[in-house]
Amino acid sequence: MPTAPPLPPLAGLTIVELGHSVAAPYAGLILADLGARVIKVENPDKGDHARGWGPPHWNGTAATFHCYNRGKEGIAIDLGDADEAAQLRRLIIDEADAVIQNLRAGVLSRYGLDGASLRAEKPGLIWCDIGAFGEGGPLAAKPGYDPLMQASTGIMSITGEHGRPPVRVGVSLVDMGAGMWTVIGLLSALIARAGSGQGAHVQTSLYETGLAWMTAHLAGFAASGEVRRPYGSGVQEVVPYQAFETRQGWLMIAAGNDGLFRKLMAALGLADLGSDARFATNSARIQNREAILSLIAEAVRTWPFGELQAALDAAGVPNAPIQTVDQVARHAQTEALGMLQQSAAGELALAGIALSIDGVRPRAKGSAPALGEHNETVLGHSAKVKTSTKSKTSAKAKPR
């Protein structure tokens, strides 16, 4: 007889997400894909800020909102309405294993929905706070967004090119990282709760996440006192480890050790440089960075892109083309891994989480919820949405 497919690892858990924008919603997305029931709570007036982060839109809602909120149930709650706030409190006490939230500091306390109050009533609850600059310190009360954190934690100071205007990393690295730290803390608390029966207060912040991404650069400063500068596509610690321009485009070359450097030099027709004392070791190459990079760049410029890539592949030198978003979306490797999937026919193809379990990539069913879509099923009453929202059957905006 055929066996039923195994349950996803977090099946049976209920998570309430009091979140907006990216950090908390991304944590909720990961948990939903791992099998948890995630109930997203939004303000009934406009909902999550990310609903308006477009164009492009899909079914009247920004594509960004869809990618962070698929697979969740959605309810609209007016915290200023005592009855609705009480309903939310009862939902958390009766059903939630954990709450994740990234609202402004003090907002939930105003309505008696803070973690301390709810955990006093339900000791097994796991409460996850995602703050801006963290609890305590001179910046604790300041609001925070991903680019502010890339700036204030030093990420922007080591991104881009020396002497050029500051550049942020082109993805919400800090927001999404904070969401991942939240999931790590929540899962750790779940394991501990299995033995003790007690929940936990899990805390992270965007600022702490940015500092964590800066681990190697902070260690370098502690060791040398050196304030590092940006190296474009390169890095401080390894040379050559950056993009070079061929006759038809840019190729990222990562000769991450001395053996790979010698192979690279041989492939480029510069074998003698592989044993040159100025360049034979990585430490020597760092000391003579500009000289060796100039010689490599001059050689690479003479090569057709495809021929150089084939030569480096044959030599065993790691390399990769600089691909655009459309090239990545259509690449055979992306397709082979099944990273982009539709929740249903005609829906957006959205990226999944970057892990598989027993060969299967966990994936929650369902699209991102319309504002207040599940009020009736979750709370037992019709949605009280104060502004009109487009249903999932409304005309689709053309994808771009």
Q: Which domain holds residue 299?
A: 241-322
Q: What is the pLDDT of residue 396?
A: 35
**Last-in-domain residue among 298, 322, 346:** 322
On whether both 37 and 185 belong to a single domain, the answer is yes
Percent of the chain with pLDDT over 90: 88
DSSP state of 158: G
> What pLDDT score was predicted for residue 233?
95
- What burial class does residue 23 get, using C-beta atoms within 10 Å of its C-beta: 0-12 exposed, 13-18 middle, 19+ buried? buried
| Domain presence at residue 9 | no
Please report which confidence band the pLDDT of residue 1 belongs to, taking 50, 70 and 90 as the band edges. Answer: low
**pLDDT value at 195 more than 60:** yes
My answer on whether 74 and 199 are in the same domain is yes
Is residue 388 assigned to a domain? Answer: no
| pLDDT the model gives residue 104 | 87
Tell me the backbone φ, ψ of residue 139, rounded to 5 degrees: -105, 10
CA–CA distance, 93 with 148 (Å, rounded to integer): 35
Whether 40 and 132 map to the same domain: the answer is yes
Q: Which has more confidence, 291 or 382?
A: 291
Do residue 353 and residue 318 come from a single domain?
no
Q: 298 and 341: one domain?
A: no
Statement to judge: residues 77 and 160 lie in one domain = yes
Q: Is 175 a catalytic residue?
A: yes
pLDDT of residue 2: 61
Domain end, chosen from 289, 322, 355, is at: 322
**Predicted pLDDT of residue 395:** 32
Domain of 310: which CATH number? 3.30.1540.10
Are 67 and 126 members of one domain? yes
The vertex-153 CA angle with 237 and 51, nearest 5°, equals 115
The residue annotated as part of the active site, out of 33, 97, 146, 175, is 175
- What is the average pLDDT value for the chain, to the nearest integer? 92
Same domain membership, residue 131 and residue 44: yes
**pLDDT score, position 383:** 46
Predicted confidence band of residue 347 (pLDDT cuts 50, 70, 90)? confident
Which residue from 340, 336, 282 is spatially nearest to 66, judged by alpha carbons?
340
- Tell me the DSSP string of 52-99: GS-SSEETTEEHHHHHHHTT-EEEE--TTSHHHHHHHHHHHHHH-SEE
State phi, psi for 229 to the nearest 5 degrees: -105, 165
